[in-house]
Structure 1
Amino acid sequence: MSDGRHRLSLSRASSPSVARRDGSHSSAPPPRAEPAFASAMSRPAAPRAGGRSGRVSKKLLSCHKSTAPTAMGFIPLPIVIDTHCHLTFPDFADNTERELAEAAKHGVTGCITISTTSVDCLSALAIAKSHDRVWCSSGVHPSYSDHGPHDWSIIRMVARDPKCVAWGELGLDNHYDKPLREVQDAVLAEQLSVIENEKSESGETGLGKPIVIHCREAFDDLLPILKDTVFDPARFVFHCFTGSANDAKKILDFGAWISFTGVVTYKNAKDVQAAAKLVPSDRIMVETDAPFLAPMPRRGERPCRPWMTSLTAKFLAELRGTDWEEFHHTLNDNTQRFFGINAHGAGE
Structure 2
Amino acid sequence: MFVDSHCHLDFPGLIEHEAEHLARMADNGVSHALCVSVKLETLPAVIGLAERHAHLFASVGVHPDNADCDEPDEARLVALAAHPKVVAIGETGLDYYWHKDAPEWQRQRFRTHIRAARACSKPLIVHTRSAAADTLRLMREEGADAVGGVMHCFTESLEVAREALDLGFYISFSGIVSFKNAEDLRVVARMVPADRLLVETDAPYLAPVPFRGKTNQPAYVRHVAEAVAAARGESLDAVADATTRNFFRLFKDAHAS
Indicate the TM-score class for this superposition, using the shorter chain for normalisation.
over 0.9
8 Å Cα contact 1:146/1:183 also seen in 2: no
Distance, in Å, in 1 between the alignment partners of 2:148 and 2:177 is 23
8 Å Cα contact 1:234/1:257 also seen in 2: no
Question: 1:193-245 CA deviation, whole Å, 9 max, x = no partner?
Answer: 3333xxxxxxxx32x21110011121111111111223436612100001122
Return closer, same or farther for 1:149/1:169 CA change in 2, 3 Å cut-off.
closer
The residue that corresponds to 2:4 in the other structure is: 82
**Structure 1 residue 189 displacement after superposition:** 2.2
The residue that corresponds to 1:312 in the other structure is: 224
Distance, in Å, in 2 between the alignment partners of 1:320 and 1:234 is 28
**Structure 1 residue 294 displacement after superposition:** 0.3
**Structure 1 residue 154 displacement after superposition:** 5.0
Matching residue's letter, 2:36: I
Matching residue's letter, 2:44: L
8 Å Cα contact 1:293/1:299 also seen in 2: yes
More helix by share: 2
8 Å Cα contact 2:38/2:91 also seen in 1: yes
8 Å Cα contact 1:294/1:300 also seen in 2: yes
Distance, in Å, in 2 between the alignment partners of 1:209 and 1:259 is 17
Distance, in Å, in 2 between the alignment partners of 1:152 and 1:252 is 25
Decide which structure has the larger Cα Rg and report it: 1
Return closer, same or farther for 1:102/1:232 CA change in 2, 3 Å cut-off.
same
**Structure 1 residue 92 displacement after superposition:** 1.3
**Partner secondary structure for residue 91 of structure 1:** coil
| Aligned match for 1:336, one of 244, 248, 256 | 248
Q: 2:170 aligned with 1:257, yes or no? A: yes
Question: 1:155-201 CA deviation, whole Å, 9 max, x = no partner?
Answer: 333310111111100000011236752121122223333333xxxxx
The residue that corresponds to 1:181 in the other structure is: 103
**Structure 1 residue 120 displacement after superposition:** 1.9
**Partner secondary structure for residue 65 of structure 2:** helix
Distance, in Å, in 1 between the alignment partners of 2:111 and 2:86 is 21
**Partner secondary structure for residue 248 of structure 1:** helix
Q: 2:50 aligned with 1:137, yes or no? A: no
TM-score by length of 1: 0.69
**Partner secondary structure for residue 136 of structure 1:** strand
**Structure 1 residue 146 displacement after superposition:** 4.3
Alignment of 1:1-348 (within 5 A): 79-150=1-72, 154-177=76-99, 180-196=102-118, 205-206=119-120, 208-232=121-145, 235-301=148-214, 303-340=215-252, 341=254, 345-346=256-257
Return closer, same or farther for 1:233/1:157 CA change in 2, 3 Å cut-off.
closer
Distance, in Å, in 2 between the alignment partners of 1:217 and 1:80 is 30
Return closer, same or farther for 1:176/1:150 CA change in 2, 3 Å cut-off.
same
Distance, in Å, in 2 between the alignment partners of 1:134 and 1:100 is 10
8 Å Cα contact 2:64/2:94 also seen in 1: yes
8 Å Cα contact 1:284/1:331 also seen in 2: yes
Matching residue's letter, 1:122: P
Distance, in Å, in 1 between the alignment partners of 2:34 and 2:207 is 17
Matching residue's letter, 2:126: I
Long gaps (5+) in structure 2:
none
**Partner secondary structure for residue 16 of structure 2:** coil
**Structure 1 residue 152 displacement after superposition:** 5.7
Matching residue's letter, 2:86: C
Distance, in Å, in 2 between the alignment partners of 1:179 and 1:96 is 38
Distance, in Å, in 2 between the alignment partners of 1:151 and 1:190 is 6
Matching residue's letter, 1:217: S
8 Å Cα contact 2:93/2:127 also seen in 1: yes
Give the number of equivalent residue pairs.
256
**Partner secondary structure for residue 110 of structure 1:** strand
Distance, in Å, in 2 between the alignment partners of 1:224 and 1:91 is 36
Return closer, same or farther for 1:234/1:322 CA change in 2, 3 Å cut-off.
farther
**Partner secondary structure for residue 222 of structure 2:** helix
Distance, in Å, in 2 between the alignment partners of 1:248 and 1:138 is 24
Distance, in Å, in 2 between the alignment partners of 1:274 and 1:316 is 10
TM-score by length of 2: 0.92
Return closer, same or farther for 1:233/1:323 CA change in 2, 3 Å cut-off.
farther
Return closer, same or farther for 1:188/1:116 CA change in 2, 3 Å cut-off.
same
Distance, in Å, in 1 between the alignment partners of 2:105 and 2:206 is 27
